[in-house]
Amino acid sequence: MSRRIHIFDTTLRDGEQVPGAKLNKKQKIEIAKQLAKLNVDVIEAGFPCSSPGDLEAVREISRQVQGPTIAALARAVKEDIDIAWQAVCEASSPRIHVFLGASDIHIQKKLRSDRGKAMEMAVEAVRYAKSLCPEVEFSTEDGSRTDFEFLCRIIDATIQAGASIINVPDTVGYALPEEYGELIYRIRQGVPALDRVLLSVHCHNDLGLAVANSIAAVRNGADQVECTINGIGERAGNASLEEIVMVLRTRFENYQAQTRIDTQEIYRTSRMVSRIMNIPVQPNKAIVGSNAFAHSSGIHQDGILKDRTTYEIMKPEELGIKEQTLVLTARSGRAALKHRLAELGFTLEAEIFERVYNRFIDVADRKKEIGAQDLQSIVEIEVFKVPELFKMHSLQIMSGNKMVPLASVTLEREGKLYTDAATGDGPVDAVFKGIERITGIPGKLRDYDLKAVTMGRDALGEAMVRVEIGEDIYSGLGSSPDVIEASARAYLNACNRYFANGGEPK
């Protein structure tokens, strides 16, 4: 008989810790609803004591998102636990997730405490959380580097205090698969009380082993895996949900373990998270990268044409990746656009559809044919856009190899047009400076990435930027057949994110 593995998604908590990926309430709810469609067992919706905004977002997810358990993270202190409970108490299935450093490094260097006091703190926190919430998870932070005997004792004590899920994280991504698998096996042997609760793992990817470690843990008795979409998360990220699910599915005979994930929703969820958080997926990323099912060598293409199983171990359809055929032009009307969008799985509210239509016409006027990937890029950028205090109106650039580039930028704010000009180290720099002069926001460009959405000289360019404004980093995405305009749109998108988060224009 096969075992069931619970999927605990922490995209909205550990994933949101990525610099520049901070989400607003609406964006978090949008992703949470998609995670429910993906059928994850648990959504860790946030760390409510980190900000009033996060508390509000987790509370709203608890109200609106049905199906998965909604979890909120809390340090092992009463105030955090109270706030976590306020955030999830309206969920149909709430969970408080309490964590405390358990290794000597964390206890002595971070908490400036000792094992005895840490034990008391953990037990007290779990007992208090359990008095509020029917389901409590306890995480032994830095579990993989914790003294084994102490680890077993703290796990046993927190189960007695009411924890029904025990998580043993590899917080720093230091473990090796054989070692971590063995640790999980030995913990199961060493703590008999684990038979009545779920044993969970949470692996970071510092050595690129997060998925391998999670799978080794499953083989050795873990019941729950904590992971994120596209593997995003603190530092090098967390174990990637789509990789874990597809390993267990594709190699079922090896593990005899299944998840309840609807794999048809994987690709859509991956794209949504990448767009809303503005974190591009690397082309060679397993399962969801743009090259994951692209065959370039002649020998491979020949094999695929004869029989797909020659070079494919999974079917793209299993992940909800659709064949992309029909193209649209500027003459395709609203009905054709709506029909094509429905084929791609998008049903848009009237107001968003109009925005998408206007942008589609703007792009189609300059690019003869709009394929599925172009359309997907246009829709995702429009749908997940933050409210725009400043809108792009027009741009003029003068540039050449023997002159200082000059850009004139016109932006619209509340129906009024504002124009300014600037020179720069290159045309993109000149445009960014022009935008800065109008918005009054001096940003530092931390990251800039430009790629073509499709092949061909008239390909749609997609730009991604990360801009440091004040204390924070804001990411922005923009697309256009003109790469300077795509860059300008991305930069403006980052500025608008800053304003949407309460930043003041000049």
Interface residues toward ligand KIV, by CB under 6 A: 14, 73, 99, 139, 141, 167, 169, 171, 202, 204
CB of 73 to ligand KIV, least distance (A): 6
C-beta of 14 vs 243, nearer to Zn ion? 14
Q: What does 265 interact with, of ligand KIV, Zn ion, none (CB < 5 to 8 A by kind)? A: none
DSSP state of 234: S
- The structure tokens 């998870």 sit at 137
C-beta of 169 vs 461, nearer to Zn ion? 169
C-beta of 144 vs 274, nearer to ligand KIV? 144
Mention every residue, 6+ apart, whose C-beta is less than 8 A from residue 362: none
Q: What does 475 interact with, of Zn ion, ligand KIV, none (CB < 5 to 8 A by kind)? A: none
39-55 burial, b for 16+ CB within 10 Å, e for fewer? Answer: ebbbbbbbbbbeeebbb
- Amino acid letter, 229: I
CB of 149 to Zn ion, least distance (A): 24
* Residues 211/247, Cβ–Cβ less than 8 Å: yes
- Amino acid letter, 283: P
* Burial category of 482 from C-beta neighbours within 10 Å (exposed 0-12, middle 13-18, buried 19 and up): middle
CB of 317 to ligand KIV, least distance (A): 34
Position with the least CB separation from Zn ion: 14
C-beta of 14 vs 485, nearer to Zn ion? 14
CB of 200 to ligand KIV, least distance (A): 9
Query: What's the per-residue H, E or C state across 287-348?
Result: CCCCCCCCCCCHHHHHHHHHCHHHCCCCCHHHHCCCCCCCCECCCCCHHHHHHHHHHCCCCC
Say how far apart CA 476 and CA 488 lie, in whole Å.
10
* Residues 432/488, Cβ–Cβ less than 8 Å: yes
Say how far apart CA 146 and CA 159 lie, in whole Å.
18
Neighbours of 270 (CB within 10 A): 26
C-beta of 14 vs 265, nearer to Zn ion? 14
Q: What does 54 interact with, of ligand KIV, Zn ion, none (CB < 5 to 8 A by kind)? A: none
E strand or H helix that includes residue 258: strand 257-258
C-beta of 44 vs 60, nearer to ligand KIV? 44
Q: How far is CA 363 from CA 372, 450, 476, in A?
A: 13, 17, 19
Mention every residue, 6+ apart, whose C-beta is less than 8 A from residue 264: 318, 319, 320
CB of 99 to ligand KIV, least distance (A): 4
Q: Which two tokens stand for residue 96?
A: 């408080």
Of 6, 7, 9, 14, the residue at the interface with Zn ion (CB under 5 A) is 14
C-beta of 173 vs 481, nearer to Zn ion? 173
Q: What does 382 interact with, of ligand KIV, Zn ion, none (CB < 5 to 8 A by kind)? A: none
C-beta of 227 vs 469, nearer to ligand KIV? 227
Q: Which two tokens stand for residue 256?
A: 């005899």
C-beta of 216 vs 389, nearer to ligand KIV? 216
Q: What is the β-pairing status of strands 136-141 and 461-469?
A: unpaired
Residues in touch with Zn ion (CB under 5 A)? 14
